[in-house]
Amino acid sequence: MKRKAPKNQVLDETAAFAEVVAQVSNMEQAFVHENLLATERMAQTVRERQAKPGSLGLPKLLDERRIQYAIPDGFFREQACFDRVFLFQVRLSGRETFVDDGKIVLSQMGRQRELESAPYGILVSAGLPALDQLRSNGIDLGHIVGFIREAPWRKPVDVVDGVEYYNMLLTVGDITGSIDLASALVSGQCAVHGRELTSDDGIVTVEHVYKDREGKLWSPSQPFIPADQ
């Protein structure tokens, strides 16, 4: 017959287990804190070396995002041309564990891998044809945009304290949407407007465009989008 453990022994084992769990939890919190400190230290180093606000001749939103997201100056040493766009890739989740409210903490390398697979970036440069197509669809420099590209090109543009930063090179057709445009639609800064077009034969069709608060219409221009996207 199996004997039950004495009550005091069970209590001692439970207390010991609880202490181990607490120690592990404290270690996880310390690891998360150290990761955050390392990230913030790097961001602060970048900001200390950045050109002063307004000194690069950038649009207001892009200049603000440059400071907010600690984008190194190397991202602004080259102007995109033709239908190409340059992005500074960003993580939007902000989580420090593999899953929300999880127990397995992301290491610095894990955070970097997640960043490299994140389908979002800040639009830092666009060629003139690309800029025409973007602005006609309500998207501009400095916007946080989504993209789809199976194997995007990454070009090294700066090194800060031994950490290399890469510019993401895409074409305008790789852009899938804009978080800032969605916010502008929600806030009423712009709206979708249907305008009637009458052909020479008298046939009336409706074309959807964006309209800002002043009533200005943005006629959409369609970029080339590969068939597999």
CA separation for the pair 13, 17 (Å, rounded):
6
Structure tokens of 165?
Answer: 């930063």
The single-letter DSSP state of residue 105 is: B
What pTM did the predictor assign? Answer: 0.73
Domain extents in the chain: 9-181
Mean pLDDT estimate for the chain: 81
pLDDT value, residue 39 = 74
Strand order in the sheet with 190-198: 190-198, 204-212, 217-218
What average pLDDT does range 125-148 have in this prediction?
Answer: 95
- Whether domain 9-181 has CATH 2.30.33.40: yes
What average pLDDT does range 74-79 have in this prediction?
Answer: 96
Q: Quick one: which of 207, 212, 221, 113 has its CA closest to 175?
A: 221
Query: Measured between alpha carbons, how far apart are the two ends of the chain, in Å?
Result: 68
CA separation for the pair 206, 63 (Å, rounded):
37
pLDDT tens string 178-187: 999 999 999 9
**Per-residue DSSP letters for 123-189?**
EEEE-HHHHHHHHHTT--TT-EEEE--SS-EEEEEEEETTEEEEEEEEEGGGEEEEHHHHHHHHHTS
* Residue 61 three-state SS: helix
Q: Given a cut of 60, is residue 36 above it in pLDDT?
A: no
